A and B are shown apart, each in its own frame.
Chain A
Amino acid sequence: MADEPKEIDALTGTATTGHEWDGLRELNTPLPRWWLWLFYATIVWAIGYWVVYPAWPLISSSTQGVFGWHSRDAVVDDLDALKASRGPMVGKLAAASVAEIVADPQLLDFARAQGRVAFADNCAACHGAGGGGAKGYPNLNDDDWLWGGKLADIENTIRHGARSGDDKGHQGSMPAFGRDNILKPNEISAVADYARTLSGLPAEQGADLALGKKVFADNCAACHGPDGKGNREVGAPNLTDQIWLYGPDKQTIVQGITNGRGGVMPAWQGRLDESTLKSLVVYVWTFGGGEK
């Protein structure tokens, strides 16, 4: 077909390709020369690309390119640039004490912004997105602090954790009075009822509060205090307030006395850098203003 003389279209005066479909003929309008040369130039360009950049897949890797450019390095560069842009403020945070950060509105703003992100990444899984807590995971917005709510206390808890295995972390846990046969079931029931009355909750009908009081004095007062106000040294909660880490119902309390409690807060020092740690301390502190 290529050798056949091409028909000239009467209307446009342009040669046709000779193809015809249902009376429609295709005009042969070649691409402009300059376009064609640009097209060839892009092909040449592509070859240059193969040489310069990583391009061809091999069995276990790919060609590396003579420039040594790598997309992973580009990401690292971007992250470095980000770090550099935050550098001055991050450096100030790392150098300042948490008390100094709180006193400086500019540092406080930056720390809260950084803390918000770090909290969402590391803490929100247990403590909730806004630090609202959950059963067994303390609410960080309230005024009840197991291990203390001053800036230094919060910093200590975040750095070293509780029952985390860190030497400087908080130790001490609720023994399993029932499981270890220290207390009998009727004693546990009685002391659970007694514990509820400490914060003004009603006891079950027919509860032996006298027995409960005796059991409490003999077994619980060592940590929770004779009046049940708790002891931060060992993380024993205050039983006289309105806040219950695991819940105020009797069944939950009985469960706790029988099997013990010992929730773990990980130690974050070493996992997070200094500025992030301090940002977290400040952020958590600003939830409820900490303890005066």
Chain B
Amino acid sequence: MTALALSMMLDRAVSEAPGLARLVAKAEVGGEPPDDIPLYAPRRKIYPQRTHGTFRRIKWAVLVVTLGIYYLLPFVRWNRGLNAPSQAVLVDFPARRFFFFFIEIWPQEVYYLTGLLILASIVLFLSNAVAGRVWCGYLCPQTVWTDLFFAIERLVEGDRREHMLRDQRKWTLETYARKGVKHILWLIVAWWTGGAWVLYFADAPTLVKHLATLQAPFIAYLWIGILTFTTYTLAGHMREQVCLYMCPWLRIQAALTDEYALNVTYRYDRGEPRCAAAKAQELRAQGKPAGDCVNCKQCVRVCPTGVDIRNGADLGCIQCGLCIDACNAMMTKIGRATGLIAYDTDINIKRRMEGKQPFVKLVRLRTALYAAVIAIAGGMMIYTLATRDSEGINVIHDRNPMYVRLSDGAVRNGYAIRIVNKQLRKRDFILAFDGMPASLIDFVGVPPREDGQLLIDVGPDQTREVRVLVTDYGDTPPASTAIVFRLTDVATGEQAEARDHFFGP
């Protein structure tokens, strides 16, 4: 339990020197920074408060769906017949294949992965142009797992207030017990995360059996260990620091966004000046300005990254909308209109202050361009996937010697020809050759068919290399001639071609 004890030490709040905290606070709220402000600020532990509301429900739903897919997908079966695995999603490293339901990808088709990454990034950009950090707030694994870990923490150690108070008091046996339970639960979730990961790389039911009976390969246990460690560390201990200091997306995001993107926004036109509910009534009676924000700080307390949304856009804000839920609950409680914090733009705030109608501009040049790129890239992917050949031919000309002079003076070239059969059944192919009339083509080691044609069979989902010799009996041996090898499926007539050259002296 040493590791557990060690991580429990990380639960202790950093003893903040009051002077430093004051300076940091002063700098953060925009005051004049003192000359000798230190470059180091201790992490302030965040105790996010439980929330209820629309966005909390959305987050729960996303959490259940995404984690459900992640944990259960390896167990989904997909019948491909005898010659291929029956797991719907499988990265088969030993056989060098990737299976995704009805799609099978060979290593040389890895550009589909490139296409998928391009699509993913443009979809990310589009979501950012429409509604800011949707990815960060709801879908990012760091957010989802941290959210789950927060839920466990609140379940075991209580909500914000209870948890903070217990941490600050002298630690009792109960404190240790609760923290122990929390870390054990965290480790179980983390271990399960790593466990699900390895199931994507082997037949899941078999691997589960082998893992349980300690027969699984060491690499499986190692990866479970690595992912248990990273999940436990990133979601349990590092949390918002991953977003703030490690993640590149928030920097890129800040550069990619524009003023029309909907963001979780504090509507300061309505909220300022902040004052207590009773005082506001008093001020309004006197005809003086009073905002709707009662400065209850619920929005700050529920924030998983410790941001005060009322200070405006913030790199730390992952835009999960939990402050909207918290503020709406408070506004409802004191009988005011909800939506003091909402998905909105700064433009709209300024327009309302000028008495104009707010608007949402979804169709803009950038959203249109992103959508067009998605449509083009996605369309190309679907088109190439739907029309790709299930057979292929690759030719490598001999390097040494480039050509051979035979005893009767004819010139011969040697080629290594690899024939690819991507179908899950054995196929017969005929290899033909074109480009030099007075020539002869011959397999090495494979006798020709009775009619003289070169027939070769390739096993299901396999490749086969044959050595092919082309001999030219023309009068003048050519220095270089373009030639074509043509592969034809005997049964279906499907063809594949490869171009190469015939060299002479």
Contact = CB atoms under 8 A, between A and B. Distances in A.
Interface of A: 10-14, 34, 102, 105, 108-109, 128-133, 139, 141-144, 238, 241-243, 286-289
Interface string B434-449: 0000000010111000
Nearest to B443: A289
A289 B440 CA distance: 14
Given A142-B407, A143-B406, 18 more contacts: A10-B19, A12-B17, A13-B17, A13-B20, A34-B9, A102-B445, A105-B446, A105-B464, A128-B400, A130-B401, A131-B400, A141-B401, A142-B406, A144-B406, A242-B407, A243-B406, A287-B414, A289-B445
Contact of B38 (A12, A144, A286, A288): A12
Given A143-B406, A242-B408, A286-B467, A108 B401 contact: no
Contact of A11 (B19, B464, B465): B19
A132 B400 contact: yes
Contacts of A287: 414
B409 interface: yes
Main secondary structure of the interface of A (DSSP, over half): loop
Interface in B450-483: 464-465, 467, 469
A141 B412 contact: yes
B404 interface: yes
Contacts, number: 78
Contacts of B17: 11-14
B91 interface: no
Given A102-B445, A130-B400, A288-B412, A238 B467 contact: no
A35 to B, nearest CB: 10
Contacts of A141: 398, 401, 404, 412, 414
Interface residues on B, range: 20 to 34
B407 A11 contact: no
Interface in B389-419: 398-401, 404-409, 412, 414
Interface string B8-20: 0100000001111
A241 B408 contact: yes
Nearest to B407: A241
A69 B177 CA distance: 45
A141 B406 CA distance: 9
A102 B446 CA distance: 9
Nearest to B17: A13
Contacts of A132: 400-401, 404
A286 B417 CA distance: 13
B103 interface: no
Contact of A34 (B6, B467, B469): B6
B259 interface: no
A108 B399 CA distance: 21
A143 B400 CA distance: 16
B226 to A, nearest CB: 20
Nearest to B6: A34
Q: B23, B398, B400, B464 — which one has the most chain A CB atoms within 10 A of its CB?
A: B400
Given A238-B407, A289-B469, A130 B412 contact: no
A286 B36 CA distance: 79
A288 B404 contact: yes
Nearest to B37: A11
B144 to A, nearest CB: 31
Contact of B405 (A10, A13, A128, A242): A242
Contacts of B408: 241-242
Contact of A12 (B20, B407, B464): B20
3 closest A-B pairs by CB: A132-B401, A130-B400, A241-B407
Contacts of A105: 445-446, 464
